[in-house]
Amino acid sequence: MARTTIEGSAHWTRRAGADLYLWRKRKKGLRAPRGTVILVHGSSMASTPSFDLQVKGEPGSSLMDYLAERGFDTWCVDFEGYGRSTKHRPVPCGIERGADDLLAAARAVRKISGAKSFMLYGISSGALRAALFAQRNPRLVKRLILDAFVWTGKDSPTLAERRKRYAGVAPESRRPVNPAFVESIFTRDHPGTAAPAVIRAFARAVCALDDSIPNGTYIDMCERLPLVDPAKITSPVLITRGQYDGIASFGDILEFFRLLPSPDKQLAVMPGIAHASLQEKNRLIVFHLIERFFGQPDPVYKG
């Protein structure tokens, strides 16, 4: 399907004195979407590099285009401290603040689109934000996907290293971001999972929006886990985990999955994928899993 059939539009909302940027993609003239999707970014980059990356010579780099082409009304939001949203205030931009920003974004999307509930995909600390949002606002969540998710942090090699660097750091502090840092995301777990051209394009897109990023989610993940109670998440859930991802142990994920109360739940391990699944060579695997889960029919018989 030609990309010219997809249109993008920028929107804004406001929460607690902060302006929040929203980006929308959908088919031109779309009247009855298959669902309204909100994509939730992680700790180290804003939303559009994560979800709407455009790479010359690498078609199919944008998850937003992929979902929009398949009939979904697709949105993302920059949380406070990131991208085009307010980022000058000395506030702790952690998981809970992100979940509150997500509620403001969902209300804005509902007002603009008319959607009554949403399909959420979150990656890394975005998965924690999305899970906490679903726990607090069950009526707003139709389906939930948690990618590169960590629950308690037990046996996490990534968090073990991170704790050494961020012990005692103020939650409202920021850290510099540059191409070398962004590129390190793709080498820390298993080098070779992403194409060099995509890594470079992703680093450019991230650094075009931010030269520093909040430490709040890193500190939360090092010091405050668990922040989510799986027993209180009642929506259908898909957990996707890269084969090489070092953010969470399998035991941590499996116990979280066991405690989810919905019988409509799935766990998928993605081969050849590390932490940043959406920019890696095997990204079409996670794209397919997202579309399949969001497009799954509701059960006719529930027992």
In a domain, 254, yes or no: yes
CATH number of the domain that residue 63 is part of? 3.40.50.1820
- Domain with 26 in it: 3-294
Nearest of 35, 173, 175 to residue 113 by alpha carbon: 35
Please give the pLDDT value at position 4: 62
In a domain, 249, yes or no: yes
In a domain, 300, yes or no: no
Query: How many independent structural domains does the chain possess?
Result: 1
In a domain, 120, yes or no: yes
Please give the pLDDT value at position 129: 98
In a domain, 264, yes or no: yes
In a domain, 302, yes or no: no
Residues 118, 7: Cα–Cα separation, whole Å: 20
In a domain, 184, yes or no: yes
Please give the pLDDT value at position 2: 43
Residues 97, 24: Cα–Cα separation, whole Å: 22
Please give the pLDDT value at position 59: 87
In a domain, 157, yes or no: yes
What pTM, to 2 d.p., does this model score? 0.97
User: Along the chain (303 residues), what's the average pLDDT of each consecutive run of 10 residues?
Assistant: 77 97 96 96 98 94 98 98 97 97 98 97 98 98 98 96 93 96 96 97 98 98 97 98 95 98 98 98 98 96 89
Do the Cβ atoms of 105 and 20 come closer than 8 Å?
A: yes
Please give the pLDDT value at position 303: 85
